[in-house]
Amino acid sequence: MSSYDDSIRNISIFITIVIGWFMILEYFVKAPAINSFAGTISSISTCLLATFTIIGVGNLSRHHVKNILTQGRNWMPSVVLIVSCWIPLVIGIIGTRKDPTYAYLYNSLYLPTSQAFFGILSFYILSAAYRTFKTRSLDSTVLLLAAIFVMMGNAPATSIIWSGFAPLGGWILDVCTAAGVRGISIGIAIGSVVTALRVLVGRERRHLAGRE
């Protein structure tokens, strides 16, 4: 790695550290000059994000237009992607989101297509659940029983068989599942804080394609 690359990486790390700590300071300090400068930084970040989004859409379109012109592999899905990307984008830019054509495309095409994909996805979920719920160990047996009680509790017809399905399924969701979700959320929060601190002190460099 050249000294030029090292210099660019060090400058990037320095800017990240300074801006990161400044934005944290702005959250706790109420000073007009600091708050105004932080607002300017946020506006610049929003503009950069919009610019990068445009660049990403441009690169994606260039790749798929080239695939269409050369009729490469799977060029028909490339046509669908270009049409579904640019037509709503152009209509939304010209007529805003309140345009009737834009609302029609969203409500009559996008939403039904999304629901159809989720419907197809449910069969894959059912197949994966079938393979997962095979009782090979104690853990899979507990998972299978919990899933059965939850599904039985949400099915109205099962109350005829036994009235305890609904309370038991609700208890599993409200107590057992909630405890697991809280533990996972706490772990994610701790990991996010640790990662943020590593970035703020310059120890996390993988986002710059560099080694720690």
* pLDDT of res. 162: 82
Summarised one tens digit per residue, pLDDT across range 186-197 is: 999 999 999 888
Size (the chain), residues? 212
Burial class of residue 9 in the structure, from the number of CB atoms within 10 Å of its CB (0-12 exposed, 13-18 middle, 19+ buried): middle
Cβ of 176: how many Cβ atoms within 10 Å?
13
Cβ of 196: how many Cβ atoms within 10 Å?
13
User: Does residue 3 carry a pLDDT above 80?
Assistant: no
* pLDDT of res. 190: 95
CB 69 within 8 A of CB 82: no
User: Which amino acid is residue 188, in one-letter code?
Assistant: I
Summarised one tens digit per residue, pLDDT across range 98-155 is: 778 888 888 888 888 888 888 788 778 777 777 766 657 777 778 778 878 887 887 7
**d(Cα 196, Cα 186) in Å, to the nearest integer?**
15
Summarised one tens digit per residue, pLDDT across range 51-109 is: 998 899 899 999 999 988 888 888 888 998 888 888 888 888 887 777 788 888 888 88
* pLDDT of res. 2: 65
